[in-house]
Structure 1
Amino acid sequence: MELTVLGSGSAMAVPDRAQAGYLLEADGRSLLVDCGSGVLQRLAGTDPGYEGVSTVLLTHHHLDHVAALLPLIKARWLAGAEHLEIVGPSGTKALVDGLLDVHDYLDGRIDLAIREVSAARDFSAAGFGVAARETRHSMAGFAYRFAPPGADGTDPADGPLTLSGDTEAFGGMASFADGSDVLVHDCSFPDGIDVSNHPNPTTLGESLAGTDIGTLLLSHLYPHTGGREREMARSVRAAGFGGEVEVASDGLRIEI
């Protein structure tokens, strides 16, 4: 399984980071997780391109995670793609219906399927096995843990990759991600910034102390983190996390 970071940024734009978006690839399958502003351009530079990604999985509905949904629908229509599935938490259908009410000429241009999921039951998205866990954020949403397509007998809750979505750091999230080869976790601000709904490096490191996670990838980075990335990684380790710590950048590719 390969992870490509399409967007490692946040709602506050910076030149080198698109908003939230991640591409998962395995066994010829492709899954887009979140679709913020700038993600469509990044996706166009990948091997699948937007023509080759027919499923989008949303962590939640904040604008920096969904802003490029309609541009993706239009791009796929113009490219001759016939189908797109959008999967996400409760309210995803209302979100997409509302967007299409504003741009109604796109309604019916492609076969659009909407599927709402819950944390109560594992599910499949683009062939990937997925387990969900509720986050702690200003909007209801999910973190997801993934098993690759064709991983017969693998419980998604034991999959090698976890994406936190937007969330505070807390013990339940650490337990959900424990055992992952890679955890991509919201770390929006450096220490010293007064913030809620997102963690800083120290609170994140404290919450993950004692977990068996191979690599922690810090993402969803606000402009406040610029120039302080190494400091943030050191702070996570100093707070008790024992695995590798890296800072996400757009275009980063990781084999899992």
Structure 2
Amino acid sequence: MRLTFLGTGSAMPTGTRMQSGYLLETGGNRLLVDCGSGVLHALARTEIGYEAVDTVLLSHHHLDHVSDLDVLLKARWLAGETALTVAGPPGTSQLVRDLLSVHDYMEGRLDLTLRDLDEGTFELAGFDGAAFETRHSMQCFAYRLAVGDGPTITLGGDSEAFTDLVEFADGSAVLVHDCSFPDDVDVSNHPTPSALGRTLAEADAEVGRVYLSHLYPHTEGRHEEMLDSLGEQYDGDVRFAEDGVTITVGAR
């Protein structure tokens, strides 16, 4: 499976990181997870472009995860690709309908399939998925995604660090986890590296590589410091996610 980091930033632009967006590919299966500001441009830079991605899975409805969704709707219509599936937590169908009501000239131009998911298993765009609710300021889902017996990738969404979320990712080859701020920022709904390191160490789970994402400007120039802080608690393979990087994921 291939994972491309389209956007590893947050609601506060840095000039170098787009807002949240991840592209998963395996065989002919393609899935866009989250669609924040700048993700459409990042997707256009990939080999397949936005024309070949007909399914979007949203972790939650904060602006930095959905703000390019209506832009994607229009771009696909202009490109002649009118079929699109959008799935996510409860309220996703209404979110898309509300966007279309604001941009009413787009109503009826797309062949939309809208799905509101609950916690538990689902199938989407050829992927076997599972959803788990995180600890955030609005309902947000983390997702485990795989195809058949292939490797599993867990995208943790926005969340505080807690052991149940890491244990949800047990057996994953890759866990992408929120690490929005360094330790000296007093924050809720997102973790600092020391909190995340402690949680990774305490969880009854084995994961492969951990990628830190959803990075606020406060983290710029402080990556080594943050990795050192996390590493005082957890000795696994942890790296910072970077926009535009594609990794090939094998078995854990």
TM over 0.5: yes
Offset of residue 82 of structure 1: 2.0
Deviations 1:194-227 (A, max 9, x none): 0000000000011110532111100000000000
Count of aligned positions: 247
* Counterparts of 2:208 and 2:140, CA distance in 1: 25
Secondary structure, in 3 states, of the residue corresponding to 1:178? coil
Question: Counterpart of 1:252 in structure 2: which amino acid?
Answer: V
RMSD in angstroms over aligned alpha carbons? Answer: 1.1
What is the Cα deviation at residue 66 of structure 1?
Answer: 0.2
Residue number among 158, 162, 165 corresponding to 2:154 in the alignment: 162
> Which residue of the other structure, out of 183, 188, 207, is the alignment partner of 1:191?
183
Gaps of 5+ in 2: none
- Mark the runs of 5 or more structure 1 residues left unpaired by the alignment: none
- After TM superposition, give the deviation of residue 109 of structure 1 in Å: 1.0
Within the candidate set 224, 244, 247, 1:254 is matched to: 247
Q: Residue type matched to 1:62 in 2? A: H
Residue 200 of structure 1: which of 187, 192, 198 is its match? 192
2:113 is matched with: 113
| Contact 1:3–1:23 (8 Å) recurs in 2 | yes
1:242 is displaced (CA, Å) by 2.6
- 1:243 maps to 236
How many percent identity over aligned positions? Answer: 58
**Distance in 1 separating the partners of 2:229 and 2:57:** 31
Alpha-carbon distance in structure 2 between the residues aligned to 1:36 and 1:178: 27
Question: Once superposed, which parts of structure 1, at least 4 consecutive aligned residues long, lie more than 4 Å away?
Answer: none
| The one of 216, 224, 227 aligned to 2:221 | 227
TM-score scaled to structure 2, two decimals? 0.96
Deviation string for 1:117-138 (max 9, x for gaps)? Answer: 111x311111011011100000
Q: Residue in 1 aligned with 2:124?
A: 125
SS of residue matched to 2:42: helix
Following the alignment from structure 1 to structure 2, what is the Cα–Cα distance between the partners of residues 230 and 212? 24
In the TM superposition, what is the alpha-carbon distance from 1:181 to its structure 2 partner? 1.1
Q: Which residue of 1 aligns with 2:30?
A: 30
Q: Are 2:4 and 1:4 aligned?
A: yes
Question: In the alignment, is the contact (CA less than 8 A) between 1:5 and 1:250 conserved in 2?
Answer: yes
Provide the residue aligned with 1:101 in structure 2. 101
Q: Map 1:133-144; keep pairs closer than 5 Å.
A: 133-144=132-143
Structure 1 residue 98 displacement after superposition: 1.0
What TM-score comes out, normalization by structure 1 length? Answer: 0.94
Give 3-state SS (helix, strand or coil) of 1:136's partner. Answer: coil
Which string of whole-angstrom CA distances, capped at 9 and with x for unpartnered residues, describes residues 94-153 of structure 1?
Answer: 11111111101011111011001111x3111110110111000000010000112xx15x
